[in-house]
Amino acid sequence: MLNFEQFQNEFNQKVIERKMTWEAKGFYASDGRVYPFGTDTKVLSTVFEAFCAPLILEIAKSHDYKVIFAKQTIYPDFTLTPSGMSSKRIAIDVKSTYQEGNRKIVFTLGSYTSFLRNGTKNISFPYREYSEHWIIGFLYNRCEGVAAKVHEIKELSDLVCPYRNVRYFIQKKYEIAGKRPGSGNTTNIGSFPTKNIEDLREGRGPFAELGEEAFEEYWRNYNR
């Protein structure tokens, strides 16, 4: 069975081997042009998810797991299922946010009013079938003032990546979860606020010692 430490180590190793920078400059269209995508966080989340997909597929295959890709708005982004089993599934969600000035880092980790309260709502498989919930988080700085100019493919070297200084971490969801929602008035679980990505890499959240059951109980009943 694939465990968290194995996945973390193998993912990191593949990133090193491929010398991945996580940088993308735009969308290559069938008309032969490259269209920039700016700094919209939803778009960049899709970009990072696309970078992760082949790495996750390779790791899953080597451990005899099947990978299910989620439909839009359904949790998680990737479901890893052991061969011949309908339980012990692994949920992997890709999250991203930007760092700006002295602002604390906070990720949104999914809704607390959906599958945590109703085990089949907005989730690929019943919540009880998942034994692990992991987050691959990306932190970046936005490049302001990048021109929204369409380029020919031969001009690709002139196209500027709209973000820089990409850093990532892999951690168990409950170990980075905080006690407050992640964004405004939404019902998203927030990660614990920090200015140091190492806190997230090490999983130093308030539920790290309390355990996953305490995390689920807290957020299942939040604001009730």
Cα separation, 71 vs 33, in Å, equals 28
Cα three-residue angle 14-15-17, rounded to 5 degrees: 60
Identify the DSSP state of 123.
Answer: B
Q: Cα 1 to the chain's mean position, in Å? A: 22
Distance CA 160, CA 143 (A): 9
DSSP letter at 130 equals E
Half-sphere exposure of 159 (CA within 13 A, CB side): 22
- Of residues 143 and 10, the one with the higher pLDDT is 10
Q: Which residues of 80-112 are buried (b: 16+ CB within 10 A; e: fewer)?
A: bbbeeeeeebbbbbbbbbbbeeeeebbbbbbbb
Name the average pLDDT for the chain. 93
Sequence ranges of the domains in the chain: 4-220
Q: Is the pTM of this model over 0.75?
A: yes
CATH code given to domain 4-220: 3.40.600.10
Q: What is the pLDDT of residue 150?
A: 85
Tokens standing for 196? Answer: 């140091």
pLDDT above 70: percentage of residues in the chain = 100
For residue 147, pLDDT over 70 is answered with no
Task: Note the pLDDT tens digit of each residue in 65-102.
Answer: 999 999 888 999 999 999 988 789 999 999 999 998 88
Structure tokens, 50: 């696309």
CB 137 within 8 A of CB 151: no
* Distance set, CA 137 to CA 26, 46, 61, 101 (Å): 21, 12, 22, 19
Catalytic machinery residues:
77, 93, 95
Q: Determine the length of the chain.
A: 224
- 149-206, pLDDT tens digit by residue? 788 888 877 788 889 999 999 999 999 999 999 977 789 999 999 999 999 999 999 9
In the chain, the amino acid numbered 38 is G
| C-alpha to C-alpha distance for 224 and 183, rounded to whole angstroms | 18
Which residue, among 83, 191, 63, has the nearest Cα to 138 in the 3D structure?
Answer: 191
